[in-house]
Amino acid sequence: MNTANIVLYDDQCPMCTFQMRVLTWLDWFNTASLLPMSHPRALEAAPGLTREALHAAIHCVTPERTVYRGARCLRFVGMRMPLMVPLALVLWIPGVIWIAERVYAWVSTNRYVLSKVFGCKEACAILPERKRAGVGVVAEREEVVERKT
């Protein structure tokens, strides 16, 4: 059984896909397995969440089945990746997560427009995908999602 946290993201959004590609390079200790929202097992990985809820924001599901959403997901995942710890620590300052959640909600709502404005479709192809042994994109390894309930 894999003990990595499952990160559910919008694989139809070029900006989101690029961010997940960056995340794989920052994840030195393989603490996160990526699962695209379009994958058939996405709803299974996040029990109690609808497809609409998943589409609204990035989510992280821990092995204990705790779900973190949006900016709180970024804070949770960031605390597990050395290069993201400074950002995650800033999100623990009182009041900062409240602001971060609102900024995240705006970016999430406008992510397709932002992807077009910043030309992410072509520019985001620059960063190569990181191949990781044992974990990675859950769509490639179905057994990562299987957990004891």
For residues 101 and 61, what is the distance between their CA atoms, to the nearest angstrom?
A: 18
26, 81 contact by CB (below 8 A): yes
Per-residue pLDDT of the chain (149 residues; tens, 9 = 90+): 456 899 999 988 888 888 888 898 899 999 999 999 989 888 888 888 888 888 899 999 999 999 999 999 999 999 999 999 999 999 999 999 999 999 999 999 999 888 887 766 555 555 555 565 544 454 444 444 444 33
The predicted structure's pLDDT at residue 119: 63
The first and second tokens of residue 55, run together, are 């589409």
The predicted structure's pLDDT at residue 46: 86
The first and second tokens of residue 32, run together, are 């996160």
User: What does pTM read for this prediction?
Assistant: 0.78
